[in-house]
Amino acid sequence: QVQPRDSGGGSVKAGGSLKLSCLASEYTNGNSCMGWFRQSPGKQREGVARVTISPGPTVHADFVKDRGVITLSNGGSTLNLQMFRLKPEDTAMYYCVAVTRGPGDVCTFSFLQERGNWGQGTQVTVSE
């Protein structure tokens, strides 16, 4: 399957905002699960957002961490995670994950983590 392309990370001060983007038209054109994970040294991988995609595309936000908002752009080809009021503990590598879903599949973080196709990752660094 095609690897999604994530971008938008950077270095910001606490209280600032960033918008992460994931180009994944191969998945948004059909039935899929998509989400964002973050990973930092010494911490477990954490699911940040999870959505169910249907043709249209239509998106159902199953889960979004606080201080985050999910949107679609670029004709529905791009999934965005807008993050605001960032804190130092938000510092991590953020990964977009996407996978085609079949009739019996339910979008969960476990499903994404085990079956998903991972983006390259984009670094978010938040300083005091």
Q: Rounded to 5 degrees, what angle do the CA atoms 15, 47, 32 make?
A: 120
Tokens 């996407």 map to which residue?
Answer: 98
- Residue 52: pLDDT band with limits 50, 70, 90: very high
Mean pLDDT over residues 80-93, rounded? 98
Mean pLDDT over residues 23-45, rounded? 95
Does pLDDT of 33 surpass 90?
yes
pLDDT, position 6: 98
pLDDT, position 115: 97
Sorted by sequence, the CB contacts under 8 Å of residue 44 that are 6+ apart come out as none
Does pLDDT of 1 surpass 90?
no
Structural tokens at position 52? 């169910």
